[in-house]
């Protein structure tokens, strides 16, 4: 495969020879060489979010020969999205950590604090990079998510959501803005209603719909703009899950929303003048693709087995996509970007043998060219087989997951690392996983279970996890271990557990609650004291604290911070019951799960006389999105695993 990546403002091409032994951990820890690819509306250029494994940037390339036309440096700043608006503007969404400060016109980001999104426009013809939203009076320069975009009368526009302070010093109002990219002019379209959660515009950039939600009363409303002002089109009581506005429907006129119906997430297409829901158009969809030029819904994607299942609403585009899929049998193909006529389509292709890479499919030329490998430092000899598995939990619940088997080893009596995913309302997917591949490269089989409480596999599986933290969500993992043992695939006496976030909690629960399964546990930023976690999250939520309390009550199965059941599933309260060595890894600047959670666990284990190690990562945060952080975590984890559960 061919690849290009950015370093010090230049594009380099490097060929890595296939090593005889597994790649070093550094190769797995490095950031993806290519994180995203987008193609211009006319198909002449590519925008490639790339790294040299450490630093990030955006390359602007000629699509025909991948000659680099420009390179935009971002250092270690996180790139959340790149998006062409027409064929001359690249809209770049970046993430920064910062606090807020009022500079007299707009409120700006300073260092430290929480993650915020900023918006940058790159004008290709002018070779000019312009930060957006920083000259709008009485507003923040941050945006909420990737903005909707339109090309109206040949002019490119962005419609970001942000915050304004209409009363100067009063409460912030969710607002929607109109940004003319050609003229670098930003104007306020509308301040949202009180408790607004989203606003949307039509194909011409006119205000169309808005949603509001009161976390205290649990009332959700959909408001639609009519000539005489806002009309309330729908009202629901929703204690937790409430519908979400997802932009325009396939005709570019209707409103796309998610809803929970019959315990499943459903996309609904609703006419603006309708009195009630439109007919459901898909159940279980997890992503929607809108045309960046018109805003109309182009396709939705759902998971069918181990494959991405795309529904394109234009039958011509559906035929194009069928041709693309036919070119990559047996591989996981993900839509990334397309020209305005969808005759050129960028895809990510995840091969079970070669790993993930990006390709440009040209339907007119009837060819496909590789843009580059997602991880250029890894060769096929560094990638282990990942198998889908299915088994039943002890109570009969059907579960699925994935088993990564180290290369060159027979799937028999293998040492195993159980890696629970973050969330817990998340899920593991097929395809390349740098964490699982790194552990497999050291000789371990890796089990990833979509336990009850996981999201994206139907509401019934998700709801089966309600109230099951430290209970059946935990035993689903050990039931997976027992299943592999009965198949002879793993040695049940050589099993450890390692996870991050919720997976870190599950690792601690594996040491203190679900005994007799594991030889050691690695918790990366895992919560240990659920009472303090609930109190912290409720405090940070401010006026939405009741919503936070309802959320945690649902998952913890405990009615508030004074419920004694919380202590029964808090690992730091059960430290004296720990029966295996524990490694704690935590970033000192973590604002998602505070560092004190690992400090409390370490202190509790030490008081109980239990073996524990604590690795405090300075200057890092919750997400493993820096190469040095990833390498530090991998090195500490592998050293600990090899000491307590040797792979040989």
Q: Considering the domain boundaries, does residue 480 fall inside one?
A: yes
Q: CATH number of the domain that 401 lies in?
A: 3.40.50.1820
Q: Considering the domain boundaries, does residue 543 fall inside one?
A: no
First-to-last alpha carbon distance for the chain, in angstroms, is 33
The answer for residues whose C-beta is within 8 angstroms of residue 176's C-beta and 6 or more apart is: 159, 160, 161, 162, 188, 189, 190, 192, 199, 201, 207
Q: What is the per-residue pLDDT for 97?
A: 72
Task: Give me the mean pLDDT over the 191-199 stretch.
Answer: 91
Pick from 283, 313, 343: which residue ends a domain?
Answer: 313
Could you tell me the two tokens for 246? Answer: 């997802």
Rounded (5°) CA angle 318-324-325: 90
Q: Considering the domain boundaries, does residue 30 fall inside one?
A: no
Task: Give me the mean pLDDT over the 449-470 stretch.
Answer: 91
Distance CA 46, CA 349 (A): 17
Claim to verify: residue 287 and residue 395 sit in the same structural domain: no
The percent of residues above 70 in pLDDT, for the chain, comes to: 90
Claim to verify: residue 295 and residue 399 sit in the same structural domain: no
Q: Considering the domain boundaries, does residue 356 fall inside one?
A: no
Query: Is the per-residue pLDDT at 168 higher than 80?
Result: no
Structural domain including 449 reads 384-529+570-644
Q: Considering the domain boundaries, does residue 117 fall inside one?
A: no
* Confidence class for position 574, pLDDT limits 50, 70, 90: very high
Q: What is the per-residue pLDDT for 94?
A: 94
- Quick: pLDDT tens for 514-553: 999 999 999 999 999 999 988 887 767 666 677 778 888 8
Could you tell me the two tokens for 437? Answer: 């591949």
Q: What is the per-residue pLDDT for 607?
A: 98
Most confident option among 138-152, 214-228, 239-253, 388-402? 388-402
Average model confidence (pLDDT) for the chain?
88
Q: What is the per-residue pLDDT for 262?
A: 47
- Preceding peptide of 456 cis, ω within 30°: no
Distance CA 260, CA 222 (A): 15
Domain tally, the chain: 2
Judged by phi (left if over 0) then psi (alpha if -120 to 50, else beta), residue 153 lies in left
Claim to verify: residue 296 and residue 414 sit in the same structural domain: no
Claim to verify: residue 389 and residue 309 sit in the same structural domain: no
Distance CA 618, CA 96 (A): 17
- DSSP of 463-486: HTTTT-TTTHHHHHHHHHHHHHHH
Claim to verify: residue 303 and residue 401 sit in the same structural domain: no
Query: Is the per-residue pLDDT at 511 higher than 60?
Result: yes
Claim to verify: residue 290 and residue 394 sit in the same structural domain: no
Claim to verify: residue 286 and residue 388 sit in the same structural domain: no
Could you tell me the two tokens for 62? Answer: 């000629």
Nearest alpha-carbon partner for 345 in 333, 359, 327 = 359
Q: Considering the domain boundaries, does residue 638 fall inside one?
A: yes
Q: Considering the domain boundaries, does residue 116 fall inside one?
A: no
Q: How many other C-beta atoms can be found within 10 angstroms of the C-beta atom of residue 250?
A: 19
Three-state SS for 122-158 is: EECCCCEEEECCCCCCCEECCECCCCEEEEECCEEEE
Q: What is the per-residue pLDDT for 21?
A: 62
Q: What is the per-residue pLDDT for 1?
A: 34
Distance CA 453, CA 469 (A): 9
Task: Give me the mean pLDDT over the 134-159 stretch.
Answer: 90
- DSSP of 506-547: HHHHHHHTSTTS-S-EEEES----HHHHHHHHHHHHGGGHHH
Helices then strands, counting H and E runs in the chain, come out as: 11, 40
Claim to verify: residue 523 and residue 639 sit in the same structural domain: yes
Q: What is the per-residue pLDDT for 274?
A: 75
Task: Give me the mean pLDDT over the 414-434 stretch.
Answer: 93
Query: Is the per-residue pLDDT at 16 higher than 50?
Result: no
Pick from 284, 313, 342: which residue ends a domain?
Answer: 313
- Quick: pLDDT tens for 296-346: 999 988 877 677 889 999 999 999 999 999 999 989 999 999 999 999 999
Q: Considering the domain boundaries, does residue 45 fall inside one?
A: no
Claim to verify: residue 278 and residue 407 sit in the same structural domain: no
Could you tell me the two tokens for 175? Answer: 């607002």
Of all residues in the chain, what percent are helix, strand and coil, respectively (each to 5)?
A: 20, 40, 40
Query: Is the per-residue pLDDT at 623 higher than 80?
Result: no
Pick from 313, 339, 361: which residue ends a domain?
Answer: 313
If one compares 275 and 71, the residue with the highest pLDDT of the two is 71
Claim to verify: residue 307 and residue 414 sit in the same structural domain: no
Distance CA 352, CA 307 (A): 12
Claim to verify: residue 299 and residue 442 sit in the same structural domain: no
Name the least confident of 230-244, 294-308, 406-420, 537-551. Answer: 537-551
Q: What is the per-residue pLDDT for 575?
A: 97
The pTM score is 0.89
CB 436 within 8 A of CB 405: no
Claim to verify: residue 306 and residue 430 sit in the same structural domain: no
């Amino acid at each position: 495969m061919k690849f290009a990546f950015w370093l010090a403002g230049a594009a380099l091409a490097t060929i890595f020879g296939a090593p005889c032994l597994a790649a070093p951990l550094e190769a797995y820890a490095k950031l993806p060489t290519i994180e995203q690819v987008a193609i211009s509306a006319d198909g002449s250029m590519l925008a490639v979010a790339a790294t040299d494994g450490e630093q990030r940037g955006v390359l602007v390339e000629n699509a025909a020969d991948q000659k680099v036309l420009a390179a935009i440096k971002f250092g270690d700043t996180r790139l959340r999205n790149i998006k062409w608006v027409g064929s001359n503007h690249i809209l770049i969404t970046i993430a920064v950590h910062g606090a807020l400060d009022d500079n007299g016109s707009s409120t700006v980001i300073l260092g430290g604090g929480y993650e915020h999104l900023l918006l940058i426009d790159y004008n290709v013809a002018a070779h000019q990079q312009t930060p957006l939203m920083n000259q709008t009076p009485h507003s923040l320069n941050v945006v909420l998510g990737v903005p909707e975009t339109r090309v109206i009368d040949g002019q490119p526009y962005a419609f970001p959501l942000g915050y304004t302070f209409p009363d100067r010093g009063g409460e912030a109002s969710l607002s929607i803005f109109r940004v003319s990219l050609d003229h670098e002019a930003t104007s306020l379209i509308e301040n949202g209603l009180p408790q607004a959660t989203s606003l949307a515009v039509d194909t011409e950039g006119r205000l169309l719909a808005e949603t509001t939600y009161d976390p205290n009363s649990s009332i959700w409303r959909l408001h639609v703009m009519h000539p005489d002002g806002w009309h309330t089109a729908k009202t629901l009581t929703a204690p937790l899950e409430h519908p979400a506005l997802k932009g325009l429907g396939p005709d570019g006129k209707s409103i796309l929303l998610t809803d929970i119906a019959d315990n499943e997430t459903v996309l609904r297409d609703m006419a603006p003048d309708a009195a009630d829901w439109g007919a459901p158009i898909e159940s279980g969809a997890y992503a929607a693709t809108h045309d960046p030029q018109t805003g109309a819904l182009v396709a939705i994607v759902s998971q069918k087995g181990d494959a991405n299942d795309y529904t394109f609403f234009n039958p011509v585009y559906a035929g194009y996509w069928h041709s693309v899929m036919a070119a990559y049998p047996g591989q996981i193909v993900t839509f990334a970007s397309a020209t305005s006529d969808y005759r050129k389509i960028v895809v990510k292709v995840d091969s079970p043998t070669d790993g993930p890479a990006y390709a440009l499919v040209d339907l007119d030329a009837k060819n496909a060219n590789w843009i580059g490998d997602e991880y250029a430092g890894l060769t096929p000899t560094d990638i282990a087989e990942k198998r889908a598995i299915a088994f039943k939990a002890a109570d009969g619940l059907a579960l699925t997951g994935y088993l990564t088997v180290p290369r060159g080893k027979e799937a028999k009596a293998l040492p195993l690392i159980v890696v629970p995913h973050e969330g817990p309302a998340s899920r593991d997917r097929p395809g390349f996983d740098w964490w699982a591949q790194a552990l497999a490269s050291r000789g371990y089989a890796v089990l990833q279970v979509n336990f009850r409480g996981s999201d994206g596999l139907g509401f019934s599986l998700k709801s089966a996890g309600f109230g099951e933290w430290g209970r059946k969500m935990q035993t689903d993992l050990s039931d997976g271990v027992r299943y592999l043992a009965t198949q002879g695939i793993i040695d049940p006496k050589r099993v450890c557990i390692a996870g991050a976030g919720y997976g870190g909690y599950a690792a601690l629960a594996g040491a203190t609650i679900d005994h007799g399964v594991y030889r050691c546990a690695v918790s990366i930023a895992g919560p240990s004291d659920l009472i303090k976690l609930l109190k912290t999250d409720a405090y940070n939520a401010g006026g939405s604290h009741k919503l936070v309390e309802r959320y945690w009550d649902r998952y913890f199965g405990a009615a508030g911070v004074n419920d004694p059941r919380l202590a029964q599933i808090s690992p730091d309260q059960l430290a004296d019951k720990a029966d295996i060595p524990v490694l704690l890894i935590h970033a000192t600047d973590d604002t998602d799960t505070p560092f004190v959670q690992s400090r409390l666990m370490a202190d509790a284990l030490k008081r109980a006389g239990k073996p524990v190690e604590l690795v405090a990562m300075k200057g890092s945060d919750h997400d493993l999105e820096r190469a040095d952080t990833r390498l530090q975590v991998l090195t500490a984890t592998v050293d600990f695993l090899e000491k307590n559960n040797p792979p040989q």
